Amino acid sequence: MHVPSIKDIEYMVEKNYSEDEILRAERYILRMLNFDLGWPGPLSFLRRVSKADDYDMATRTLAKYFIEVTLIDERFVAVPCSQVAACAHYVSLRLLDKGPWSRAHAFYSGYFESELLPHARVLLELLAQPRKHRAIYEKYADRRFLRASEFVHQWLAKNSPEDLLVPTRGDYLGMVEFTVKGVLFDMDGTLVDTTQCVEQAWHALAVSHNMDGDALLKHVHGRPCLDTLKAHFPVSCHTPEYAHEFELRIVNNTDGVHVVPGALRAVQSLEHNKWAVVTAASRMWATMRMQQAGLPLPKCMVSCDDITRGKPHPEGFETGAKCLGCDPRDVVVFEDAVNGVVAARAAGATVVALSTSTTADALLSAGAHYVVRDFTQVRIADDGANIVVHISQ
């Protein structure tokens, strides 16, 4: 990247600030950063995504122009540097007609096409107004930069930006993409992995009643605590008070409790009114576990306290969909237990199962549409109107 001189910066700010004021501002910024300038910027990420095109010079030069243009618009301030680079490379690829956004591009950039389109729209809007970035435009009109800005200006004069905003649907071999209106998450084993402490507690309780603890563990996941107690333990354990006391003993044990990989990114990618938690646990249990794991609490939570029939009955997921204002057939459910998969399928939802506590074969046999290891194989993009779910298998 061409580093502007102090005279260039004076010109860019139209001489509203003197050379001394600019240098003092620079020194202040460096002190605030503690001179730590090692954080990767968009160009670092651009180098990585450029691997997908064998470092094509024209594509990279055009993308660099786009990255500099994003600096003048506040709408890109909150966009991660990696996404700015991916968006710039995507628009460059499309303008030069170099092919679709392929699986290689998604791999090296970390973004699917649908995640880039909203930012691409803003970038094209900026490019159509070169007067707003005159200094950058003139810089990239130079032969050293392949007259990139002039090429873009001529292209936009002859073509509609909307032509570039039609998804290319590149070669996503091994990837699945579908659209929904809402997302329902199970909690235990899906967002928060509590398998270790939960199984230890149930195993110990079984042994204390002279039962086979290993055999019991096949039946405890994905169902309310009280239902399990009634199904497998003596009558003395069948009261709500006993179930509550047992849950308190478990929930106060945080050993082995952690966020399922990728879960935080998954929930943060959605607006608050687009996702809910549907859990077989009590509201107290679910709230404490999510807080212990550092996850945001949903606007809508359906616990065993809110319904009369737990999983595998579909009531919980039907209630969750209603809370989001969706038909159950328009939501995707993320589950880790057989009972939850059966319940979600009965509700009519698309089911993505996580093999965190149950084998993939068992989840598929229960009716899961897709099985993933965890959320690192899932990408969720909310474009406002729809939610696009990408699954890498």
Q: Both ends of the chain: CA-CA distance in Å?
A: 38
Residues 6 or more apart whose CB falls under 8 angstroms from that of 361 comprise: none
Residues 6 or more apart whose CB falls under 8 angstroms from that of 171 comprise: 100, 102, 103
Is 261 buried (19+), middle (13-18) or exposed (0-12) by CB count in 10 A? middle
188 catalytic per annotation? yes
Q: Is 60 in contact with 34 (CB distance < 8 Å)?
A: no
Q: Is 155 in contact with 163 (CB distance < 8 Å)?
A: no
Residue 102: phi, psi to the nearest 5? -90, 180
Q: Is 373 in contact with 341 (CB distance < 8 Å)?
A: no
CA distance 81 to 44: 9
Q: How far is CA 104 from CA 30, 108, 124, 168, in A?
A: 37, 6, 24, 14
Q: Is 334 in contact with 356 (CB distance < 8 Å)?
A: no
305 catalytic per annotation? no
4 DSSP 8-state letter: P
Of the residues 53, 186, 330, 374, only one is catalytic, namely 186
Of the residues 53, 188, 193, 336, only one is catalytic, namely 188
Residue 269, both tokens: 């990618």
Residues noted as catalytic: 186, 188
